[in-house]
Amino acid sequence: MNTEDGNKFQKIYEKERKIIEPKIKNVLKGRKPASLYEPSEYILDSTGKRLRPLLVIASAKACGLNYKDVYNSAIAVELLHIFTLVHDDIMDNADKRRNKVTVHKKYDLSTAILVGDILLAEAYNVLLKDGRGDFGKIAKAFTRALTEVCEGQSLDKDFETEKSVSLADYIKMVEKKTAALCAMCCTIGALLANADDKTIRAMYNYGKNIGIAFQIQDDLLDITGNVKEFGKNTGGDLLEGKKTFLFITALQRAAGKDKTALLKVIKNKGITPGEIETYEKLYYKLGVIDDAKDSINKYTKIAVKNLKVLKNNEDIEYFTWLADSLIKRSK
Amino acid sequence: MNTEDGNKFQKIYEKERKIIEPKIKNVLKGRKPASLYEPSEYILDSTGKRLRPLLVIASAKACGLNYKDVYNSAIAVELLHIFTLVHDDIMDNADKRRNKVTVHKKYDLSTAILVGDILLAEAYNVLLKDGRGDFGKIAKAFTRALTEVCEGQSLDKDFETEKSVSLADYIKMVEKKTAALCAMCCTIGALLANADDKTIRAMYNYGKNIGIAFQIQDDLLDITGNVKEFGKNTGGDLLEGKKTFLFITALQRAAGKDKTALLKVIKNKGITPGEIETYEKLYYKLGVIDDAKDSINKYTKIAVKNLKVLKNNEDIEYFTWLADSLIKRSK
């Protein structure tokens, strides 16, 4: 893709992000009680990529609808996503998210649990508003993704205490924890537009595979990310002893002293901040940074292959650009 | 109502409870990952009154449907209810629920958050299965109740730090935290049966008012309940310094030393186990036990008044018996 096209698509993305952004931020505005809705507005007020709502809009557009027809569903998927972030941050005992203090740290545990719950409630509330497509199918796809996200988070928590996690286990976890939601976004975009089954399946597979690529990229950014752009400190996954793509691949590749060092992370359930640099260097030495990049490219290619079902070439190019820019992202 | 009719209705209730009970217990059976679904099955395996699913069934029956037509929705409302219990127990730091150790105490915080989330996901999943009535309206009523339950819980948490809570504030909180769910159960029973608007409204109001009565009775049982039947120790609300119906009314009625003693509960955010008996005696002395009983009767009467919209006398009698037996319950 040439730079000109890239710039064009970037402009479309930004334009749509700017339309959807205030709608997300204001979805709970002025509601009471303040003890519930102010912390909810606090977390909605952080500026994210809004990838998921833009997937809904792009998918619906590729199947013949305007963003105005589907923006409630677009808001719904972001609310579902933020619900998972708020609850996950409690479980991961995270301090920061998108450059802001996490809800449970800024307020308290009870507030953070309830904020997550109300965001999910509101997600269903707005999902019911567009009134297009087969609502039963849309709600089912939405609920399936919610179920998978919970299962994925549970698998991810299991990994913390499991001595051995294979790359296949990891991918299975990521399919649920991250990819299911992206797949759902593309699916409901198509469902809202009453697309045929073949298109719905293709959009589902596109979303699923960019979701997997996205998560591996996320694991990668935990090491290669720029603190300011990434919005949190690097090495966080190592501190927590997380079985990321990098860690699992490193353990497969390592021998001798390197292997002992990695096994120590499992045994101690993480490392200390002072050790981060050592382990980052080990990742580079073992070549797992390149492994991650290869995998990201692989899943992105699979994603893009599904796009041939789309009729309009510009839609194919937009989705291709989107997949490509996710690989190149720094946050 | 004579004893014979009472026994007949009790038998209907028990028969339907026995039909719905295994369906609730087995709704997540055999699913994986075990780390998520085993703790979920653990909490589903406790035997509750199953009031809410039976409200759905009774309401649908009164509007012309068989239990077979609506049992998925009946399961859905119980799952929504148990979701709130699991998350509320975390926030209230509760040790026991229905004679069992709470999820966050038996497992851990992360598990309990996720168990709540997956129960809610499954609630929507089964809600989508009956395929009767206007699904958009049913899902909206369901989601509205979810929103209100979260708001009610937030108001209840607010009460913990508020110096002064009026009885009007309390009723507003209960309308959301408890009554909204009962109202929704009766509403979706009627919606599933495609009942007319007048009937839907009447069923909503019946559910709402028995819900308020139910919560005041719950507050009352915290003092008058038998430990074994109630499933938890009495005086728990006093220990936590909760602004219950009894506490708020007591504060209104008290003067002198009694008032000082009650204000101490607010100041210290609760009492010690050794003080429970003193405060229980104070409640009796101030007459707030009778006040609670009067209020329970008042809301029950309002609930029953709505039943005149129903065509079948037996349905009216069943709902009247149900409201009446909630007043007489000991757990």
CB pair distance less than 8 Å for B157 and A128: no
Mean pLDDT, rounded, of chain A: 94
Residue type, B43: I
B235 dihedral zone (left: phi>0; alpha: psi -120 to 50; beta): left
Regarding beta strands B96-97 and B100-101, do their DSSP bridges make them parallel or antiparallel, or are they unpaired? antiparallel
User: What 3-state DSSP class applies to A101?
Assistant: strand
Phi, psi dihedrals of residue A89, rounded to the nearest 5°: -60, -35
Is the pLDDT at A162 greater than 70, yes or no? yes
Cβ atoms of residues B316 and B200 within 8 Å? no
Q: How far is CA A145 from CA A113, A149, A156, A177, A185, in A?
A: 20, 6, 16, 9, 9
User: Which pair of tokens denotes residue A205?
Assistant: 């597979």
- 3-class secondary structure for B152-204? HHHHHHHHHHCCCCCHHHHHHHHHHHHHHHHHHHHHHHHHHCCCCHHHHHHHH
Q: DSSP assignment, residue A107?
A: S
pLDDT digits (tens, 9 = 90+) for B11-30: 999 999 999 999 999 999 99
CB pair distance less than 8 Å for B151 and A118: yes
Residues B272, B89: Cα–Cα separation, whole Å: 20
Judging contacts by C-beta atoms under 8 Å, the chain B residues touching residue A143 are 121, 124-125, 128
The closest CB to that of B33, out of A110, A117, A151, belongs to A151
| Shortest CA gap A175–chain B (Å) | 14
pLDDT, mean of residues B46-55: 92
Q: How far is CA A236 from the centre of its chain?
A: 17
For A45, the enclosing helix (H) or strand (E) is none
Residues A99, A88: Cα–Cα separation, whole Å: 16
pLDDT, mean of residues B257-275: 95
Judging contacts by C-beta atoms under 8 Å, the chain B residues touching residue A110 are 90-91, 157
Residue B230: pLDDT band with limits 50, 70, 90 = low
CB pair distance less than 8 Å for B33 and A131: no
- Is A3 exposed, middle or buried (CB count within 10 Å of its CB: 0-12, 13-18, 19+)? exposed
ipTM: 0.94
Between B329 and A196, name the one with better pLDDT.
Answer: A196
Is the pLDDT at B317 greater than 60, yes or no? yes
Is the pLDDT at B310 greater than 60, yes or no? yes
Chain B residues with CB-CB distance to A under 8 A? 32-33, 35-36, 87, 90-91, 109-111, 113-114, 116-118, 120-122, 124-125, 128, 131, 135-136, 139-140, 142-144, 146-147, 150-151, 153-155, 157-158
Query: What pLDDT does A231 receive?
Result: 61
Is the pLDDT at A280 greater than 70, yes or no? yes
Residue A96: pLDDT band with limits 50, 70, 90 = confident
Q: Residue A169: closest CA among chain B residues belongs to which residue?
A: B33
Cβ atoms of residues A248 and A283 within 8 Å? no
Judging contacts by C-beta atoms under 8 Å, the chain A residues touching residue B242 are none
Cβ atoms of residues B120 and B146 within 8 Å? yes
Question: Which range is least confidently modeled, A158-172, A226-240, B159-173, B273-287?
Answer: A226-240
pLDDT, mean of residues A92-115: 94
Q: DSSP assignment, residue A96?
A: E
Query: What pLDDT does A230 receive?
Result: 57
Query: What pLDDT does A233 receive?
Result: 74
pTM: 0.95
User: Which pair of tokens denotes residue A11?
Assistant: 């402009």
Is the pLDDT at A35 greater than 60, yes or no? yes
Q: How far is CA B221 from the centre of its chain?
A: 13
CA end-to-end distance (rounded Å), chain A: 22
Which residue is it, tokens 């290869």?
A294
Is the pLDDT at A226 greater than 80, yes or no? no
pLDDT, mean of residues A273-280: 95
Phi, psi dihedrals of residue B59, rounded to the nearest 5°: -65, -45
The closest CB to that of B113, out of A113, A135, A147, belongs to A113
pLDDT digits (tens, 9 = 90+) for B179-222: 999 999 999 999 999 999 999 999 999 999 999 999 999 999 99
Query: What pLDDT does B231 receive?
Result: 61
Rounded (10°) CA dihedral A145, A146, A152, A153:
150
Residue B47: pLDDT band with limits 50, 70, 90 = confident
pLDDT, mean of residues A17-41: 96
The closest CB to that of A150, out of B90, B121, B139, belongs to B121
Which residues neighbour B74 within 8 Å (Cβ) at sequence distance 6 or greater?
B20, B52, B53, B54, B56, B57, B67
pLDDT digits (tens, 9 = 90+) for A126-149: 999 988 999 999 999 999 999 999
The closest CB to that of A91, out of B90, B91, B113, belongs to B113
CB pair distance less than 8 Å for A35 and B158: yes
CB pair distance less than 8 Å for A154 and B120: no
Cβ atoms of residues A89 and A231 within 8 Å? no
Query: What pLDDT does A329 receive?
Result: 80
Residue A229: pLDDT band with limits 50, 70, 90 = low
pLDDT, mean of residues B83-98: 92
Is the pLDDT at A71 greater than 90, yes or no? yes
pLDDT, mean of residues A264-270: 94
Is the pLDDT at A82 greater than 90, yes or no? yes
Judging contacts by C-beta atoms under 8 Å, the chain B residues touching residue A138 are none
Residues B38, B44: Cα–Cα separation, whole Å: 10
Which residue is it, tokens 């009565």?
B213
CA end-to-end distance (rounded Å), chain B: 22
Residues A145, B124: Cα–Cα separation, whole Å: 12
Query: What pLDDT does B147 receive?
Result: 98
For chain B, percent of residues with pLDDT exceeding 90: 87
CB pair distance less than 8 Å for B139 and A124: yes
Residues A239, A125: Cα–Cα separation, whole Å: 38
Query: What pLDDT does B329 receive?
Result: 80
Rg (CA), chain A: 20
Phi, psi dihedrals of residue B100, rounded to the nearest 5°: -120, 155
Residue B234: pLDDT band with limits 50, 70, 90 = confident
| B218-257 burial code (b ≥16 CB/10 A, e <16) | bbbbbbbbeeeebbbebbbbbbbbbbbbbbbbbbebbeee
CB pair distance less than 8 Å for A154 and B122: no
The closest CB to that of B114, out of A109, A111, A150, belongs to A150
The closest CB to that of B121, out of A36, A122, A143, belongs to A143
For chain A, percent of residues with pLDDT exceeding 70: 98
